[in-house]
Chain A
Amino acid sequence: MVYFVNDIITGALIGLLYALVAMGFVVIYRASKVFNFAQGELVIIGGFIVWFTTLQAGLSLWLSIPLSLLLAGFVGYLIERIFLTKLIGESVFSMVMVTVGLLILLRGFVLLLFGPAVRPFPVIFPLKPLFLGDMLIPLNLLIGGIITIVAAAGLSWFFNRTRPGLRMTAVAEDHVVASSMGISVKSSIAFAWVLGAILSTVGAMIFLSGKSLTFLASDIGFAALPVALFAGLESIGGLILAGVIIGIVQSLTTNYLDPVIGGSLGSVVPYIIMLAILLIRPTGLFGWRTIERV
């Protein structure tokens, strides 16, 4: 029974990590209606920035973490300025296709700049787990989970209670209408990309702490995809619930079904949930339902 509860807790914490990465999808989507296929690549860009500032430049963690977040935000800003700002007012499809191109470009850029070698990632969170009686809780995932919940609460408040947040929501509704109301579409979208890149870097720190870094780490972006679609692409608070559900189901499948069937159903089950929810409720659990009056 202890192990069962332990597996549920660990699953929930891994699900919260997925939710944090998925938050990057949602922030960009809420501000621009663009689904960013390059979210996983933003995670590795963030990871390489952290690696560079700590292990290469030799800065202390207290200095390198804020500096990395700042640099990641700047990269997000640059990406928006170079590739997306010209597409404001164009169809959403063309912007989405740009993110597909970005995925390939950023992966190539990382390979070109840092090479393909597997590198050690700095230990940012303690490696020793927390023991509660017979239960074992990975401390990095626990701290990551707390960060995710705090970030979700902060972003929910920002998008629903502040004027800049509401302006970004208006931009997502319609670029032209928002622009005619005096809202700076460019600034809103740029800010969303800055936020998306920062969230991805935080995700990289939790995901990779004490492990290894290669360009293959971008796969976490695809692992977070079911959480984003399950929650609905507009709901930040919904990500927490979706992440926890998917994480727990995945953990239980990995620990109890996989040994029986001798396979890796655990890595597939989040996508099965995603497809099921898309069939039943295409907008996700908490996504906005658009009512069009003709």
Chain B
Amino acid sequence: MTYKTHSGLRSLLAVSAIAFATVVPAKVQAETSYNLALLSDFSGPYADIMPVLASGRETVFNWWNETRGKELGVTLNFKNYETRYDAAQVASLWPGIKSELNPIAVVGLGGPDVAALSERLPEDKIPMFMSTAAYGFAWKPDSWIFNPRPTYSHESAGFLSWLRKQRGGDEPIKVAILASEASPAYVDMAKGLELYAEQNPDDIDIVEVIYTEVQPTDLTTQMRRVARSGAEALVIQTNTSIVVAAKRGLQANGANVPIMMSSHNGLPASGGALGGLEQLEGDYEAYGMAIAADEDSPARQFYNTLTSDYGLKAPWNVVTAMGISQGLFVATVIEHAIQENGAEGLTGEAVRKALFSKPITTEETNGFLPTLTFTPDAPFPLEGLKVNIGTVRNGKIVIEATSVDIPVVQKW
């Protein structure tokens, strides 16, 4: 081999190296990554549902990275932080989360996250996205915390208006509420519905409001009061243990007052704790999100994709649906922000701005959520609110009604 040949080879290698060096940074640039902080409760009051909810939202982020993220050149990294559903724990963790992750968004769980971070997030300019319904105490303009669903009171008002129509007649529907003072969120759920009933006496008549512990000793006498009052529905949006104790109390009294539950204490969780879904025959769950029933739906098909192609192990139920819908909500808002600002240099502020810029369509969330149009006036969409209703028939969860209009509920 001559010197000239050596020289030619060197030139070739140099050109290859330059070409490689120019290609590789381009590839690195295409894989811009952003961090998400996931607030979780694996050892507190919602520890029973957390593993399922967590796997739902995490699998969505994995799916997004593999599909939409790849096209956009963005990867979403995420890390769970254990909060024990405790506002003090969230508050103490937050400075560490910020410095460790510098997240562009927080994926929240419930009331304690809202209580701990509602004043801090506007300063830090990081938005938080929830999976639950919203709270009246957080219903303020210019929020940095957003719920894909309206308040629990909106959801119960929507359900009760529907139930009244089903019953027929002009009389208001008689309603009992079973709540707990263990959490401000539980009190908020009751207060909102009470206010709605006050302002709409022709629609709802609240006949009993009962507060109890989160693990009640016995509710037989309280349920006797409910039965005596002629209640046509019992609203319980707190937890599974209260649903179980109330159901036992109603059974002991030989009373059959239909119970309305929410998503976090819904039919599968409460039925499981009672020993079988057949115990909840004729009871309801109602929320502004897809019902995890056996029927085929876009949401069910997307769930099937996640289980078959992305390793989702969680069963098809309302908690999994909550996790998936939250993941889709967050990922879609970030996608909108990338479309508006480009993949580079995305900030929490840009993500929040993107939330208001255009609606999140129901197609984008595969039917898990209705079309959501956010404004700076409230932490949840104020228009086009809908609720879906599921019930137990012949021991199975079935969809009773979809896209039921939610009436106007005033701020409280």
Tell me, yes or no, whether A173 is within 8 Å of chain B by CB: no
In the complex, which residue of chain B has the Cβ closest to the Cβ of A138? B220
Tell me, yes or no, whether B291 is within 8 Å of chain A by CB: no
CB-contact partner of A118 in B209, B213, B240, under 8 A: B240
Q: Are B215 and A262 closer than 8 Å at their CB atoms?
A: no
Please give the number of chain A residues whose Cβ is less than 8 angstroms from any Cβ of chain B in the complex.
Answer: 40
Residues from chain A with a CB closer than 8 A to the CB of B334 are: none
Q: How far is the CA of A108 from the CA of B253 in the complex (A)?
A: 37
Interface-side segment among B28-36, B271-279, B365-373: B271-279
Residues from chain A with a CB closer than 8 A to the CB of B245 are: 211-212
Q: How far is the CA of A91 from the CA of B253 in the complex (A)?
A: 52
Tell me, yes or no, whether A161 is within 8 Å of chain B by CB: no
Residues from chain B with a CB closer than 8 A to the CB of A251 are: 221
Tell me, yes or no, whether B43 is within 8 Å of chain A by CB: yes
Q: How far is the CA of A216 from the CA of B213 in the complex (A)?
A: 11
Q: Are A17 and B217 closer than 8 Å at their CB atoms?
A: yes
A129, A138, A211, A219 pick with most chain B CB within 10 angstroms: A211
Per-residue contact bits, chain B 215-233, to A (CB 8 Å; 1 contact, 0 not): 1011011101100000000
Tell me, yes or no, whether B408 is within 8 Å of chain A by CB: no
Interface of A is mostly: helix
Tell me, yes or no, whether A85 is within 8 Å of chain B by CB: no
Q: Are A212 and B241 closer than 8 Å at their CB atoms?
A: yes
CB-contact partner of A7 in B209, B213, B221, B252, under 8 A: B221
Tell me, yes or no, whether B237 is within 8 Å of chain A by CB: no
Per-residue contact bits, chain A 25-48, to B (CB 8 Å; 1 contact, 0 not): 000000000000000000000000
Q: How far is the CA of A251 from the CA of B225 in the complex (A)?
A: 13
B45, B47, B218, B225 pick with most chain A CB within 10 angstroms: B218
Residues from chain A with a CB closer than 8 A to the CB of B48 are: 115-118, 214
Tell me, yes or no, whether A210 is within 8 Å of chain B by CB: yes
Q: How far is the CA of A286 from the CA of B42 in the complex (A)?
A: 43
Q: How far is the CA of A63 from the CA of B22 in the complex (A)?
A: 76
Per-residue contact bits, chain B 229-261, to A (CB 8 Å; 1 contact, 0 not): 000000000001100110010011100000000
Could you tell me the distance in whole angstroms from the C-beta of A246 to the nearest C-beta in chain B?
A: 12
In the complex, which residue of chain B has the Cβ closest to the Cβ of A254? B222
Tell me, yes or no, whether A197 is within 8 Å of chain B by CB: no
Tell me, yes or no, whether A155 is within 8 Å of chain B by CB: no
A216 with B272, Cβ < 8 A, contacts A138-B220, A211-B248, A223-B217 known: no
Q: Are B47 and A264 closer than 8 Å at their CB atoms?
A: no
Tell me, yes or no, whether B139 is within 8 Å of chain A by CB: no
Q: How far is the CA of A254 from the CA of B222 in the complex (A)?
A: 9
Q: Are A219 and B215 closer than 8 Å at their CB atoms?
A: yes
A127 with B248, Cβ < 8 A, contacts A10-B220, A17-B217 known: yes
Residues from chain B with a CB closer than 8 A to the CB of A210 are: 248
Could you tell me the distance in whole angstroms from the C-beta of B337 to the nearest C-beta in chain A?
A: 35
The tally of CB-CB contacts under 8 A between chains A and B is 96
Q: Are B215 and A217 closer than 8 Å at their CB atoms?
A: yes
Tell me, yes or no, whether A53 is within 8 Å of chain B by CB: no
In the complex, which residue of chain B has the Cβ closest to the Cβ of A108? B43
Residues from chain B with a CB closer than 8 A to the CB of A128 are: 252
Q: Are B43 and A141 closer than 8 Å at their CB atoms?
A: no
Could you tell me the distance in whole angstroms from the C-beta of A63 to the nearest C-beta in chain B?
A: 20
Q: How far is the CA of A289 from the CA of B211 in the complex (A)?
A: 39
Tell me, yes or no, whether A136 is within 8 Å of chain B by CB: yes
Could you tell me the distance in whole angstroms from the C-beta of B43 to the nearest C-beta in chain A?
A: 6
Tell me, yes or no, whether B65 is within 8 Å of chain A by CB: no
Tell me, yes or no, whether A220 is within 8 Å of chain B by CB: yes
Tell me, yes or no, whether B409 is within 8 Å of chain A by CB: no
Residues from chain A with a CB closer than 8 A to the CB of B224 are: 136
Tell me, yes or no, whether A267 is within 8 Å of chain B by CB: yes
Tell me, yes or no, whether B286 is within 8 Å of chain A by CB: no
Residues from chain B with a CB closer than 8 A to the CB of A220 are: 215, 217
Tell me, yes or no, whether B50 is within 8 Å of chain A by CB: yes
Within 8 A of B (CB), among A100-156: 108, 111, 115-120, 127-129, 136, 138, 140-141
In the complex, which residue of chain B has the Cβ closest to the Cβ of A258? B211
In the complex, which residue of chain B has the Cβ closest to the Cβ of A267? B213
Q: Are A120 and B215 closer than 8 Å at their CB atoms?
A: no
Could you tell me the distance in whole angstroms from the C-beta of A136 to the nearest C-beta in chain B?
A: 6
CB-contact partner of B272 in A14, A111, A120, A254, under 8 A: A120
Residues from chain B with a CB closer than 8 A to the CB of A283 are: none
Tell me, yes or no, whether B214 is within 8 Å of chain A by CB: yes
A212 with B273, Cβ < 8 A, contacts A223-B217, A263-B181 known: yes
Could you tell me the distance in whole angstroms from the C-beta of A128 to the nearest C-beta in chain B?
A: 6
A129 with B252, Cβ < 8 A, contacts A138-B220, A207-B217, A214-B241 known: yes
A136 with B248, Cβ < 8 A, contacts A118-B273, A264-B180 known: no
Tell me, yes or no, whether B55 is within 8 Å of chain A by CB: no
Tell me, yes or no, whether B157 is within 8 Å of chain A by CB: no
Q: How far is the CA of A178 from the CA of B273 in the complex (A)?
A: 49
Tell me, yes or no, whether B212 is within 8 Å of chain A by CB: yes
Q: How far is the CA of A217 from the CA of B240 in the complex (A)?
A: 12
Q: Are B43 and A212 closer than 8 Å at their CB atoms?
A: no
Tell me, yes or no, whether B269 is within 8 Å of chain A by CB: yes
In the complex, which residue of chain B has the Cβ closest to the Cβ of A128? B252
Q: Are B215 and A216 closer than 8 Å at their CB atoms?
A: yes
Known contacts A138-B218, A258-B211; 17 further A-B pairs (Cβ under 8 A): A111-B43, A120-B274, A129-B253, A136-B252, A140-B218, A211-B241, A211-B245, A212-B244, A212-B273, A216-B45, A219-B214, A251-B221, A254-B222, A258-B210, A262-B209, A264-B181, A267-B181
- A-B contacts, 20 listed (Cβ < 8 Å): A10-B218, A108-B43, A116-B47, A117-B272, A118-B240, A118-B272, A127-B248, A129-B252, A136-B221, A136-B253, A138-B252, A212-B274, A214-B215, A216-B45, A216-B214, A219-B213, A254-B222, A262-B209, A264-B180, A267-B181
- B contacts, CB < 8 Å to A: 42-43, 45, 47-48, 50, 180-181, 208-215, 217-218, 220-222, 224-225, 240-241, 244-245, 248, 251-253, 269, 272-275
